[in-house]
Amino acid sequence: MMQFRRIVSTAALGLLVIGMPACKKKEAPAPSADAAAPAPVPAFEVGTIEVGKAVGADKRVTSTGTTFGRRDTIYVSVATEGVAPSKTIAAKWTFQDGQVVDEESRSIAPNGPEVTEFHITKPSRWPAGKYKVEIAVDGATAGSKDFEIK
Amino acid sequence: MPDSKEPKADFSDVEGGSSSTAPSAGQTYTVVPGDSLSKIAKRFYGDAKEWKRIYEANKDAIDNPDLIYPGQTFTIPGA
């Protein structure tokens, strides 16, 4: 009888030992649920702001500069990173005396790295002097560039 | 004593524009001195006659289409 009990308890222990890994296997799917969670959305942020006389097909300024001629078209390119359903990027161009030369905004739905360009022209030649373009995102200043027209 | 006050620079004929690699989320425009709906339409659509599109989209902010004010922000439909 004692021997029978020993056999039964050995068998029970064996089942328990065999059963433990089985229990672990049942827990295994939990991490995969975590893995299925959506990746964090990269926060939207402004990168490089560049001023120049022309932009390429990628909207980036092709050759940067801070001095322009009186008949030039002036471009500012704003590189951004991140994803957002809607962001309003604004460019405010001002003359040295504080006059607003031009102001424009563009609402975009960025989906990763993007570039937005703003440009100004003046058919009757620019007044010589110092200018500034300020970039704002949703009303908050994100940077500025100074340039001169000679 | 000479008058050192120079005449203010004139920026009334400045033309601006923008474009982006990002899809548009609906464009807006802030009115500057000298603007009219026709002038804004010319800027965005290339045709001053399209001013009614901007007027229709911003009727709640425009009482008289001949009177718009600097600082007003308009939605520019389908630009």
Q: Residues of A with CB below 8 A from B19's CB?
A: 59, 116-117
For residues A52 and A72, membership in a common domain is answered with yes
- Cβ atoms B35, B43 nearer than 8 A: no
Average pLDDT, chain A: 83
Give me the pLDDT at residue A8, please.
47
The answer to whether residues A61 and A14 belong to one domain is no
Q: Is residue A82 assigned to a domain? A: yes
pLDDT confidence of residue A38: 59
In this structure, the answer to whether residues A31 and A49 fall within a common structural domain is no
* Domain co-membership, A26 together with A71: no
Q: What percent of chain A has pLDDT over 90?
A: 62
Q: Do A116 and B20 touch (CB under 8 A)?
A: yes
Note the pLDDT of residue A59: 95
pLDDT at A127 over 70: yes
Residues of chain A contacting B34 with CB distance shorter than 8 Å = none
Whether A77 and chain B come into contact, CB under 8 Å, resolves to: no
Q: Is A14 inside a domain boundary?
A: yes
CATH number, domain containing residue A62: 2.60.40.10
Contact residues on chain A for B73, CB-CB shorter than 8 A: 105
If asked whether residues A28 and A73 sit together in one domain, one would say: no
Chain A neighbors of B30, CB-CB under 8 A: 90, 103-105
Task: Name every residue whose Cβ is closer than 8 Å to that of residue B16 and which is 6 or more positions away in sequence.
Answer: A91, A93, A102, A104, A118, A119, A120, A121, B43
A13 found inside a domain: yes
DSSP A22: H
Residues A65 and A102 in one domain: yes
pLDDT at residue B24 tops 90: no
| Mean pLDDT for the stretch of residues A113-142 | 96
Nearest-angstrom CA–CA distance, A32 and B31: 53
Q: What residues make up the domain containing A30?
A: 2-35
Euclidean distance between CA atoms B4 and B66, whole angstroms? 37
Same domain? A70 vs A143:
yes
Is there a contact between A117 and B19 if contact means CB atoms under 8 Å apart? Answer: yes
Please judge whether A122 and B32 are an interchain contact, meaning their C-beta atoms are less than 8 angstroms apart.
Answer: no
Specify whether A54 is located in the same domain as A27. Answer: no
Res. B29 pLDDT band, cuts 50 70 90? confident
DSSP letter string, A47-64:
EEEEEES-B-TTSSBSSB
For the cut 60, the answer to whether the pLDDT of residue A25 exceeds it is no
Task: Please compute the mean of the pLDDT values over residues A90-118 and round it to a whole number.
Answer: 93
In this complex, is the C-beta atom of A120 within 8 Å of any C-beta atom belonging to chain B? yes
pLDDT digit string, tens, across residues A26-85:
554 554 545 556 566 678 999 999 999 999 999 999 989 999 999 999 999 999 999 888
B34-37: Cβ within 8 A, 24+ apart: B35/B68, B35/B70, B36/B66, B36/B68, B37/B62, B37/B65, B37/B68
CATH classification (class only), B27-76? alpha beta
Cα A68 from Cα B34, distance rounded (Å): 25
Number of domains in chain A: 2
Window 21-60 of A: residues touching B by CB (8 A cutoff) are 58-59
Q: Are residues A84 and A131 in the same domain?
A: yes
Cα(A94)–Cα(A92) distance, integer angstroms = 6
Q: Is residue A40 part of a domain?
A: no
Buried b (16+ CB within 10 A) or exposed e, A73-112: bbbbbbbbebebeebbbbbbbbbeeeeebbbbbbbbbbee
Out of A59, A97, A119, the one facing B16 most closely (by C-beta) is: A119
> How would residue A23 be classed by pLDDT, with cut points 50, 70 and 90?
very low
Inter-chain residue contact A120 with B73, CB threshold 8 Å? no
